[in-house]
Amino acid sequence: METTATGGAGETGYVHGYTDREARRLGEQADALAELLHGGTRYPAGSRVLEVGCGVGAQTLHLIDGSPGAELTCVDVSAESLARARARVTAARPGARATWVRADLHDLPFADGEFDHLFVCFVLEHLPDPVAALAGLRRVLRPGGTLTVIEGDHGSAFFHPDSAPARTLIGHLVALQAAKGGDALIGRRLHPLVRAAGYGRVHVGPRTVYVDASRPALVQGFIHDTFTAMVGSVRDEALAAGLATPGQWRDGIDGLRRTAGPDGAFHYTFFKATAVNPARPDAAPGGAPGGVAGQDARTSGSTSRA
């Protein structure tokens, strides 16, 4: 099923673009990091889950695998991305319980409290006002329902051999995303952002990727297919903005690729937040941090822990 309800934010702001290459990168990234990012996230059968900003469906497949009995609604503002997501899931997980809705996350066509759980992955980094977005999402989340948010932080990237040109390229990516109103360093801010949006029982934990030659799957899946490809996706925009010359860009990419060598190493940290939509507006600040526990059989909370 697919419905359409477009809002005002439009499809601008995604710094990496909507190319076939980017769609492949997103899929490869999701597969390489599936256990790291989705580990501990399970939704009960029959629970109503909204994936906000599903993109090309890369994370959707892993949501389905982890919670096959959940009723999943996938929303994205991009018609092209939504079509890719639907095709990806239909081909890979025929019979999956997924509904597709084109909509702006700031103007969702759902009833108040319609969902038991919200899943928001790699979305806030592209928004000019993530607190307002999270606060608005509370409307469609039932009281006591759970929120799971996952974001990266490009400032957490450390590698060997160190490379000043590579670090400069990462800085260009951060700057380009900021120019579009986003924040590529948002991971470190998840706790205050989620609290400011009115959620309670907020818990944020690091999900760290460490790669060296002893982990060949991650050498390919993370260093090459995820991080280097992500930086490479903004090459044309960076050159057009005068941030780098072609030679400087090549030197930076070569520096990233050297970290995949026999003596190389790479470190990056994602941040995963869980929280609860409080039953009362004044209940948000309270509660001890920790995993989100269940409340009842059908609408019990996710067992996700950051």
Whether the pLDDT of residue 83 is over 70: the answer is yes
Spelled out in words, what is the top-level CATH class assigned to the domain 2-154+181-210+270-283?
Answer: alpha beta
Amino acid at 18: Y
Whether the pLDDT of residue 79 is over 70: the answer is yes
Residue-wise pLDDT tens digits, 60-75: 999 999 999 999 999 9
Look up residue 110 and give its two tokens: 């759902």
Output the pTM of the full model: 0.86
* Residue listed under structure tokens 């959620």: 199
Residue-wise pLDDT tens digits, 183-209: 999 999 999 999 999 999 999 999 999
Residue-wise pLDDT tens digits, 138-172: 999 999 999 999 999 999 999 999 999 999 999 99
Whether the pLDDT of residue 305 is over 80: the answer is no
Look up residue 158 and give its two tokens: 């450390």
Specify the pLDDT at position 49: 99
- Cis peptide bond upstream of 161, omega within 30: yes
Contact between 264 and 161 (Cβ < 8 Å): yes
Where in the chain are the domains?
2-154+181-210+270-283
Contact between 266 and 208 (Cβ < 8 Å): no
Residue-wise pLDDT tens digits, 8-63: 344 445 555 556 666 666 667 678 788 899 999 999 999 999 999 999 999 999 99
Strand partners, 114: none
Amino acid at 32: A
Mean pLDDT, residues 281-301? 39
